């Protein structure tokens, strides 16, 4: 039982750290995907304005 008392706190802190880092990476991934989609949309709008056939 002594081993559980000694090992449980570092394991819990490690799990909390793992969940926090995972959340940060997922948020970063979502932000990069949203930014890429916005840039693609802006590029398409810009190409539509500059093309002579778009008029």
pLDDT at 50 (0 to 100)? 76
Displacement of CA 52 from its chain's centroid (Å): 38
pTM over 0.85? The answer is no
Q: Tell me, yes or no, whether 3 lies in a domain.
A: no
Residue 40 token pair: 């693609």
Number of domains in the chain: 1
* Tens digit of each residue's pLDDT (9 = 90 or more) over 1-49: 899 999 999 999 999 999 999 999 999 999 999 999 999 999 999 998 8
Q: Which of the two residues, 18 and 52, has the higher pLDDT score?
A: 18
- pLDDT beyond 90 at 52: no
Residue 51 three-state SS: coil
* pLDDT reported for residue 1: 85
In a domain, 53, yes or no: no
Residue 8 lies in a domain: no
- Cβ atoms of 48 and 54 closer than 8 Å: yes
Q: Whole-angstrom Cα distance, residue 10 to residue 47? A: 55
- Is residue 28 included in any domain, yes or no? yes
In the chain, the N- to C-terminal Cα span, in Å, equals 78
Instruction: Quote the domain boundaries for residue 35.
Output: 21-45
């Amino acid at each position: 039982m002594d081993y559980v008392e000694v090992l449980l706190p570092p394991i819990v802190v490690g799990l909390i750290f793992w969940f926090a880092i995972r959340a940060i990476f997922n948020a970063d991934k979502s932000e990069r995907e949203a930014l890429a989609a916005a840039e693609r949309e802006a590029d398409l709008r810009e190409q539509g304005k500059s093309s002579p056939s778009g008029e």
